[in-house]
Amino acid sequence: MTLHSLDPLASPTLAALYLRQGHLQRAGSVVDSLLKKNPEDGVALALAHRIQCLTTVGLEVWIHDDALALRLTAPYKGDLTLHVQFFPSAALDIFHTRQPWTANRGGVRLPLPSPRGAAVAKLTGQLQENDCTVAISRVVSW
| Residue 85 pLDDT | 94
Burial status of residue 129 (CB atoms within 10 A of its CB: 0-12, 13-18, 19 or more): exposed
Distances (CA, A) of 37 to 11, 41, 88: 11, 9, 50
pLDDT value of position 23: 85
- Tell me the pLDDT tens digit for each residue of 29-61: 999 999 998 999 999 998 998 887 777 778 899
Give the DSSP per-residue string, the chain. Answer: --HHHH-TT--HHHHHHHHHTT-HHHHHHHHHHHHHH-TT-HHHHHHHHHHHHHHH--EEEEEETTEEEEEESS---S-EEEEEEEEETT-S--EEEEEE---SSSEEEEE-SSSSEEEEEEEEEEETTEEEEEEEPPPEE-
The predicted structure's pLDDT at residue 127: 63
The parts of the chain modelled with pLDDT lower than 50 are 1, 3-5
CATH topology of domain 58-141: Immunoglobulin-like (2.60.40)
What's the pLDDT at 73?
83
pLDDT score for 103: 75
pLDDT at 110: 94
Residue ranges of domains in the chain: 3-55, 58-141
